[in-house]
Amino acid sequence: MTLTVVVLVAFSIVLDVIGQLCFKLGLDRLPELSGGFRLNAFWGQVFNAPLLWAGIGAYVIEFFVWLEALSRAPLSLLFPAAALAYCGVVLAGKVVLGETVSRRRWLGTMVITAGVMLVAIAGAQS
């Protein structure tokens, strides 16, 4: 992978993590609906939630960054690298949201990271 592709994939991963954080924070900040769950009221709240729009914006930008990365490197190399977004979301959930992350989930996150490294090393040697 060239430096440009690495930067594009890293930027894509960061945007994915930011988008997920915005979605979670935005939904958590929506007020409770009285009288149970009402779909129309819920969608009205969603359309007026700035953090949800920020998450959508992050995903739109990520879409174009991803397309640029795909134009420069094979999908079989890029897609496994994009799995690092999962690792970033787990870490952000712990650090930003204060979520509890079990040892098993940390182990799974490390396995994903090791797998991405193996794919990247194999891709560099091809």
CB-side neighbour CA atoms (13 Å) of 58: 19
pLDDT in tens, 47-72: 889 999 999 999 999 999 999 999 99
Six-digit token string for 53 = 């729009």
Q: Which of 6-10, 34-38, 40-44, 92-96 has the lowest mean pLDDT?
A: 34-38
Please tell me the predicted confidence (pLDDT) of residue 3: 93
- 27: tokens are 């939904």
Taking the C-alpha atoms of residue 24 and residue 124, their distance in angstroms, rounded to an integer, is 36
C-alpha span between 46 and 68 (Å, rounded): 30
Which residue carries 């009285």 as its tokens?
Answer: 34
Give the predicted TM-score (pTM) of the model: 0.85
Of the candidates 52, 35, 55, 54, the residue with the CA atom closest to the CA atom of residue 43: 52
List all residues 6 or more positions away from 18 whose beta carbon is below 8 Å from its beta carbon.
54, 55, 58
Q: Are 15 and 62 in contact (CB under 8 A)?
A: yes
